[in-house]
Copies of this chain bind each other. A is one copy, B any other.
């Protein structure tokens, strides 16, 4: 018997239903914030990813040469497709562009808990807005998504940082531009590696500066309030121009924190410069969402990436956005007892004898056409008892019984399979009667 490939998932109906409920809440939440959906191909030119992330990305990709001789890859993330699509039409579009996508992504990695070779992401991006109003809206939307599942500040929090602060720090330390990626990598590793190992690794790139950088970085990473950040900035050794730029950045910090407060986000957002995000293309505020009650992978991550669209060959286009994966999110929701389900709707089972079939099937057709879910037995000659048993086995909420007595009065018996109660309903009023059923109350 064939099996699915390692790291790829089959979704049988119970799992499919949960995922659809997840997608539906994602959609409703981000649309409430004015985002509109878009989509692009899961297969793209390999060069699109190399241009964005460098040759090393190829190691993680499902890539091949197609029958037309093109180097192609299954998309590992959405941002390059977004940049390509928005970039090619940027000049004609009203700004800000607020787009979301729910789509599959592929990485050739070792399958493990929380990591599959194919996963679905919600990507939410704002393009064409330089001001922090966009950063605030991006973070607010992320919080709306968590809240859409009933999660609260007890369940999750968002760590907010700023690549620019680290740039000022590197200015003050005197780190050369071509070494800054290594320093950011070291900061990214501070939570997982001890001082000796990290200073030793970093000294290969920045020499004797490594120790100072580590200790200073540890101080900045430990600041969790705006006043502390401002005081930290005052103490930096900067040129007058750098000083002016830092003052302007601190004003933006103040604006962002104020907007987040007004948008009801204060309970969820923690200032935390220790977050730098692994990806090279972030340029400003960055953030990651985590569970609060246990250690886990980031539930979502994002930030500002103002240079990417231009790098992909498009016009300069400011951008801020984030992504959330289905695997980690569903795991979090299960842990919190908030696994989503689609709304419970009536599910009807038609019970009838052979001679009532024409009347019954006419109602099957009409009720299905009006949106009701209607099942019936394929065993034409089964007794009513057997049909009622099948109704229960199918998980139906109600049976509609087409007995000859009822039909003589133009009625059918509607039996609630949960409570066992039954009542007669005129055939012409069935659709309205079913639409009015409150399943929780029935």
A133 is an interface residue with CB less than 8 A from chain B:
yes
Query: Among A6-14, A198-206, A270-278, which stretch is in contact with chain B?
Result: A6-14
What distance in Å separates the Cβ of A204 from its nearest Cβ neighbour in chain B?
29
For residue A262, which residues in chain B have a CB less than 8 angstroms away from its CB? 357-358, 361-362
Which one of B9, B28, B379 lies within 8 Å of A41 (CB-CB)?
Answer: B9
What distance in Å separates the Cβ of A120 from its nearest Cβ neighbour in chain B?
10
A37 is an interface residue with CB less than 8 A from chain B:
yes
A155 is an interface residue with CB less than 8 A from chain B:
no
Contact A129-B44, Cβ < 8 Å, known A12-B89, A17-B36, A89-B12 = no
Query: Among A68-76, A176-184, A329-337, which stretch is in contact with chain B?
Result: A68-76
For residue A366, which residues in chain B have a CB less than 8 angstroms away from its CB? 264
Interface contact B42-A104, CB-CB below 8 Å: yes
Q: A42 to B67: give the CA distance in the assembly, Å.
A: 18
Interface contact A41-B263, CB-CB below 8 Å: no
Interface contact B312-A1, CB-CB below 8 Å: yes
A428 is an interface residue with CB less than 8 A from chain B:
no
Q: A264 to B99: give the CA distance in the assembly, Å.
A: 43
Interface contact A38-B13, CB-CB below 8 Å: yes
Interface 1/0 per residue, A261-290 and B, CB below 8 Å: 011100000000000000000000000000
- In this complex, the member of A11, A39, A96, A369 whose beta carbon has the largest number of chain B beta carbons within 10 angstroms is A39
What distance in Å separates the Cβ of A361 from its nearest Cβ neighbour in chain B?
4
For residue A108, which residues in chain B have a CB less than 8 angstroms away from its CB? 66-68
Within 8 A of B (CB), among A29-82: 29, 31-34, 36-45, 47-48, 51, 62, 64-68, 70, 72, 74, 80
Interface contact A147-B32, CB-CB below 8 Å: no
Interface contact B140-A365, CB-CB below 8 Å: yes
A412 is an interface residue with CB less than 8 A from chain B:
no
In this complex, how many residues of chain A approach chain B with their Cβ under 8 Å: the count is 93
Q: A62 to B44: give the CA distance in the assembly, Å.
A: 13
Query: Among A188-196, A299-307, A370-378, A400-408, which stretch is in contact with chain B?
Result: A370-378
A106 is an interface residue with CB less than 8 A from chain B:
yes
A259 is an interface residue with CB less than 8 A from chain B:
yes
Interface contact A263-B364, CB-CB below 8 Å: yes
Q: A259 to B40: give the CA distance in the assembly, Å.
A: 43
A314 is an interface residue with CB less than 8 A from chain B:
yes
What distance in Å separates the Cβ of A153 from its nearest Cβ neighbour in chain B?
14
What distance in Å separates the Cβ of A258 from its nearest Cβ neighbour in chain B?
9
For residue A147, which residues in chain B have a CB less than 8 angstroms away from its CB? 369
For residue A367, which residues in chain B have a CB less than 8 angstroms away from its CB? 32
A442 is an interface residue with CB less than 8 A from chain B:
no
Contact A362-B44, Cβ < 8 Å, known A371-B32, A373-B32 = no
Which one of B70, B314, B347 lies within 8 Å of A5 (CB-CB)?
Answer: B70
- In this complex, the member of A51, A314, A380 whose beta carbon has the largest number of chain B beta carbons within 10 angstroms is A380
Interface contact B37-A2, CB-CB below 8 Å: no
Nearest to A64 among chain B residues (CB) is B64
Nearest to A101 among chain B residues (CB) is B16
Can you list 15 A-B contacts with CB-CB less than 8 angstroms, sorted by A residue number?
A1-B88, A5-B70, A8-B41, A12-B38, A13-B99, A32-B367, A32-B368, A32-B372, A32-B374, A34-B347, A43-B74, A66-B108, A94-B393, A129-B378, A262-B357
11 further A-B pairs in the complex, CB-CB below 8 A; given A32-B369, A34-B394, A62-B67: A1-B314, A5-B43, A5-B72, A8-B41, A33-B374, A34-B373, A43-B118, A96-B378, A134-B378, A144-B365, A144-B368
